Copies of this chain bind each other. A is one copy, B any other.
């Protein structure tokens, strides 16, 4: 398929030009390179979409996993109602690229960020922001009045272990404050049980998620009993999607990693066994052997700057069985080949399933999307680095 007589300048021009379909093959990509297996990606999207439709939930996949407007739009075309984003600056990039239905899942704090949130809402008026304290509601309301705009505010519920207002009476009070403040609308509840998502073992995970979501349902009922409508109860993760979809009263799921998968998620265990394999490994990093100090040791060009290191797992070889990756600093990985199914020499490429998708994607500017062995699309990680 590929014409290896091409020069790098030609390859670079094709990769930069956008219309790459079928011209460049995997082995021509500059390594380390972030790869997406489109067949696996499409399978994952289709499976999640079917699941939420069957259970009458909406899907707002979390964009912090991919940071790519192309992927956000792909998901919306497939049936998603929009995209969650972790941070305001991520939302700004998505909005600039025409992605609507944004839900900013982390509190937006500070004068300048509130000003930016209002500018965002002007471009994408259906944007929803999450709040967990009264002062933040008042600040949003004041700023919205001044700008003559309206903001949609959801209360962020403390059922995980990060942010949020206490369930029950404090939540009701915050919802009522939003309801009574000018230029802000009560949009519903975000209840994200972050600690449940990676509990090992499906039954244990179900128990953890159920306990957390019970508080969210009770709070929703309390607010409704007090005469307010709660149009949104959003939460859930790739680890709990088939647990939370069973919960009546939840309106929406916001998983992110299911489109890609990673080593960490596969280890949490599935409904039927020790490996969670509801979704396929679609994301990988292509590396090259750059040194071969001995017969059983190879050094690849990918270290801490090519794979995130936040999870206690290492990259797993997709190319050859029995290859064991060991961290070797910022720029290198060392491969133990003593049990490898095939020899690897200087110049060989090795593809790895990544330890944790979100922070790994955040290291790259582009995702090379492959159909089989050729590049079909090059998608931009346009919100990379946007953690503000």
* Residues of chain A at the chain B interface (Cβ within 8 Å): 4, 7-8, 11, 28, 30-33, 64, 86-87, 89, 106-113, 115-116, 132-133, 135-136, 158, 161-164, 194, 288-293, 299, 301-302, 304-306, 308-310, 327-332, 334, 346-347, 356, 358-359, 362-365, 384-385, 387-388
Chain B positions within 8 Å of A115 at CB level: 7-8
A2 to B158, CA, bound (A): 36
Chain B positions within 8 Å of A362 at CB level: 305, 363
> Is A332's CB under 8 angstroms from B291's CB?
no
Instruction: Please state the number of chain copies in the assembly.
Output: 2
The listed residue (B28, B132, B302, B330) touching A112 by CB distance below 8 A is: B28
5 A-B pairs with least C-beta separation: A163-B291, A8-B112, A309-B310, A304-B310, A30-B388
> Is A64's CB under 8 angstroms from B359's CB?
no
A328 to B292, CA, bound (A): 38
Known pairs A291-B133, A291-B163, A291-B164; A109 contacts B332 (CB<8 A): no
Q: What are 15 A-B pairs with beta-carbon distances under 8 A?
A: A31-B388, A32-B387, A106-B332, A110-B288, A161-B334, A163-B290, A164-B291, A301-B387, A304-B310, A304-B356, A305-B358, A305-B387, A306-B387, A365-B385, A384-B385
A277 to B334, CA, bound (A): 31
The listed residue (B33, B132, B133, B290) touching A106 by CB distance below 8 A is: B290
Chain B positions within 8 Å of A388 at CB level: 30-33, 301
Supplied contacts A8-B115, A301-B388, 10 more A-B pairs, CB within 8 Å: A87-B331, A109-B347, A162-B299, A163-B290, A163-B291, A194-B329, A301-B387, A309-B309, A309-B310, A310-B330
